[in-house]
C-alpha cells in the first residue's frame, strides 16, 4: 500500500526523539502538510493545529508522537497509512472540534471506531483521523433494558455489560469488532434470527454531523437520519453514542461448533440448504469451510440456540444425524465462549480479504460452486451468517439495510500474515467470488475489502433516499471514507 511521509519540523522531531512522552501536536512548529477531500496537497496552519490541540481534552497526534504509530494501525495489517493528524477524542466536544476543523479546511477525514474496516476506510494518508478508541464506555439501564455504548466501544464491552444484568442484544461474532461500523452497516450476529440485526435494536444515536452540530437521532427526532444510519454506514456523521434495546437472556446457552471432514461438505451444505428455512427463531446456524491447524480442511457449523436447551437439542437432532462429524462441540455453555472463540485467530494485525454476497436461496448449484472453489485452494475460507427469522420480518425499506429477503450472507475470506501472499490470495478470493456472485443479489456493505463505491449493490432500493438525506446533511461529502453514498444535489 502506498506510503506517504508527512514531516514535521526537525526541532519537533528532535524533541519527539528525546522526550517521546511529552510530545503532541500542540508542539507543531510549522505548517503541516496534508491532503484535501479532492486529493490535492494542502497545508494546515501551525497556529490552527496548535489551537485544535489546545481545545481538545484528548491528544492530537502527529508523526513523532509516542502514540502515533499504534493509533494509525487498524485491524487489517494490509493498510499502512499515515494521517497528518490523529485526534484521539475524549468526548463529544473533541469530536465536534475535529469535524469542524476538517470541514473548514476541506481536509480528508477518516473516522475510526473499532478499526475493523476490511477496506481500510478508518485511516487515511494525509488527512485527519478521528480516533474514538478512548470513547469506549458501555453502560446499561437494566430497568429500561437499554445499553448506551460510546462510538468507540467494542462488541465485547456491549456483550459483557449487558450480560451482567441478564440481558443481551445482537452483537457480531468477533468481540474486538467496534460497535460503530458494525451497527451503522447493519450488524449480523448469532442472535439475529431471534432479535434482528443490530440496527433493528437501535433506539437512538448521538451524531455529530458535518456542520459540527450534535444531534439526537431517533424515531421522533430527525427520523430521516435515524432511517439512514440504520444501514447507511458512517456516511452521515460521527456516532458518539448508540442506545440499544436489550432482551432478557440466560447466558448459559446450547451452543458450539460441529465439524465434519471436507469430504462431507456437499452432504452437510445441501442438508443446510433444505433445512434452514424451517428453523425456529431461537436456532442460529452458520456454515463455514476452513482449514484449521492440526485438524485440516473442514466444513463446520456454528450453533447457538437462544431458548430452552431441551427444545434446542430436539431441533438440532436432524443436523447431528448428518455424516460423521470430527467433533461435536455443541453443549450448554456460557454465550461468551462462542462470542470470543475466534478472537485470537482473527487478532489485530493479520492480513485479510473478504467479500460477500446476499443469497435468497442456497441451491445445490451454489453449494457446488462453494465446494469446488474451496477444494481448489483451502488457504481461503467461506463463512456465512444465516439471516431470516426476525431479520426478514422487518419491511425492506423500514431501515436503510435492504437485504431483508436474503436468507444467507455468504463471504469468501482469507486471513494470513505473509505480505508475499497478498497478491495471490486476493486474486484467488476474487475468482471465488466470481463463481459465487451469480447466486447472490447484492452485498452486505460491512464485509467487503474492495471498497468500490458500488452504491446500488450495497444499498439496493434504499440508495436514492440515502442519497437525498446525504445531500441534506453532508452536501460536501465530508464523510466519504466509507461505503460512500454520493449526495444528491
The answer to whether residues 26 and 16 touch, using CB atoms and an 8 Å cutoff, is: no
Comparison of 305 and 444: residue with beta carbon closer to ligand FAD: 444
* CB 184, min distance to ligand FAD, A: 6
**Does 89 interact with ligand FAD (rule: CB under 6 A)?**
no
Q: Which is nearer to ligand FAD, 77 or 329 (CB)?
A: 77
181 binds ligand FAD, rule: CB under 6 A:
yes
195 vs 271, beta carbon nearer ligand FAD: 195
Nearer to ligand FAD, 13 or 336 (CB): 336
CB of 157 to ligand FAD, least distance (A): 12
Q: All 3 cell numbers of residue 93?
A: 466536544
Q: Is residue 412 close enough to count as binding ligand FAD by CB under 6 A?
A: no
Residues 334-373 touching ligand FAD, rule: CB under 6 A, are 346
What CA–CA distance (Å, rounded) separates 408 from 191? 14
| Residue 453 CB partners (closer than 8 Å, separation 6+) | 483, 484, 486
Nearer to ligand FAD, 63 or 384 (CB): 384
112 part of the interface to ligand FAD, by CB under 6 A: yes
Among 52, 268, 447, 469, binds ligand FAD (CB under 6 A): 447
Q: How far is the CB of 445 from ligand FAD (least distance, A)?
A: 8
d(CA 266, CA 88): 49
Phi, psi at 7, each rounded to 5°: -90, 140
Beta bridge partners of 297: 291
Each residue 184-223 as x (binds ligand FAD by CB under 6 A) or -, in order, gives xxxxxx----------------------------------
Q: Which window, 5-13, 79-87, 166-174, 420-428, contacts ligand FAD (CB under 6 A)? A: 166-174
Interface mask toward ligand FAD for 56-75; x: CB under 6 A: ------------------xx
Enumerate binding residues for ligand FAD (CB under 6 A): 74-75, 111-118, 121-122, 132, 151, 172-174, 177-178, 180-182, 184-189, 233-234, 238-239, 346, 446-447, 481-482
Amino acid at each position: 500500500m502506498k506510503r506517504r511521509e508527512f514531516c514535521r519540523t526537525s526541532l519537533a522531531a528532535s524533541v519527539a526523539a528525546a522526550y517521546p512522552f511529552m510530545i503532541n501536536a500542540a508542539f507543531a512548529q510549522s505548517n503541516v502538510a496534508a491532503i484535501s477531500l479532492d486529493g490535492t496537497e494542502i497545508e494546515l496552519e501551525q497556529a490552527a493545529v496548535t489551537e485544535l490541540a489546545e481545545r481538545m481534552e484528548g491528544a492530537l497526534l502527529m508523526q513523532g508522537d509516542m502514540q502515533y504509530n499504534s493509533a494509525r494501525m487498524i485491524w487489517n495489517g494490509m493498510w499502512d497509512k499515515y494521517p497528518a493528524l490523529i485526534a484521539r477524542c475524549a468526548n463529544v466536544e473533541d469530536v465536534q472540534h475535529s469535524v469542524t476543523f476538517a470541514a473548514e479546511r476541506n481536509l480528508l477525514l477518516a473516522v475510526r471506531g473499532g478499526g475493523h474496516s476490511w477496506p481500510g476506510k478508518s485511516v487515511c494518508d494525509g488527512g485527519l483521523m478521528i480516533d474514538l478508541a478512548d470513547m469506549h464506555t458501555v453502560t446499561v439501564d437494566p430497568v429500561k433494558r437499554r445499553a448506551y455504548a460510546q462510538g468507540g466501544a467494542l462488541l465485547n464491552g456491549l456483550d459483557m455489560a449487558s450480560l451482567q444484568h441478564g440481558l443481551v442484544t445482537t452483537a457480531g461474532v468477533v468481540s474486538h469488532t467496534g460497535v460503530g461500523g458494525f451497527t451503522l452497516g447493519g450488524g449480523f450476529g448469532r442472535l439475529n434470527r431471534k432479535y434482528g440485526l443490530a440496527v433493528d435494536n437501535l433506539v437512538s444515536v448521538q451524531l455529530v454531523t458535518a456542520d459540527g452540530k450534535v444531534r439526537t437521532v431517533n424515531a421522533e427526532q430527525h427520523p430521516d437520519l435515524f432511517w439512514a444510519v440504520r444501514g447507511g454506514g458512517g456516511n452521515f456523521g460521527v456516532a458518539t453514542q448508540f442506545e440499544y434495546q436489550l432482551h432478557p437472556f440466560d447466558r448459559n446457552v446450547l451452543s458450539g461448533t460441529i465439524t465434519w471432514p471436507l469430504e462431507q461438505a456437499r452432504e452437510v451444505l445441501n442438508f443446510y440448504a433444505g433445512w434452514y428455512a424451517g428453523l425456529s427463531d431461537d436456532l442460529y446456524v452458520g456454515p463455514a469451510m476452513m482449514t484449521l491447524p492440526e485438524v485440516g480442511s473442514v466444513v463446520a457449523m456454528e450453533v447457538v440456540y437462544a431458548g430452552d436447551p431441551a427444545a434446542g437439542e430436539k431441533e438440532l437432532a436432524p443436523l447431528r444425524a448428518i455424516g460423521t462429524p470430527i467433533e461435536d462441540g455443541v453443549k450448554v455453555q456460557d454465550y461468551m465462549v462462542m462470542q470470543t472463540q475466534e478472537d485470537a485467530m482473527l487478532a489485530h494485525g493479520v492480513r485479510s480479504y473478504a467479500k460477500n454476497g446476499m443469497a435468497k436461496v442456497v441451491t445445490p448449484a451454489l453449494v457446488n460452486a462453494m465446494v469446488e472453489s474451496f477444494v481448489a485452494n483451502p488457504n481461503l475460507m467461506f463463512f456465512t451468517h444465516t439471516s431470516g427469522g426476525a431479520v426478514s420480518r422487518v419491511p425492506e425499506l423500514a431501515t436503510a439495510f435492504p437485504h431483508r429477503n436474503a436468507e444467507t450472507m455468504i463471504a469468501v475470506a482469507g486471513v494470513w500474515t505473509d505480505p508475499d501472499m497478498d497478491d495471490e490470495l486476493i486474486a484467488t478470493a476474487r475468482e471465488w467470488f466470481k463463481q459465487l456472485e451469480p447466486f447472490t443479489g447484492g452485498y452486505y456493505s460491512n464485509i467487503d475489502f474492495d471498497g468500490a463505491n458500488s452504491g446500488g449493490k450495497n444499498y439496493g432500493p434504499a440508495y436514492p433516499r440515502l442519497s437525498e438525506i446525504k445531500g441534506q446533511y453532508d452536501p460536501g461529502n465530508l464523510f466519504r471514507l466509507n461505503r460512500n453514498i454520493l449526495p444528491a444535489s
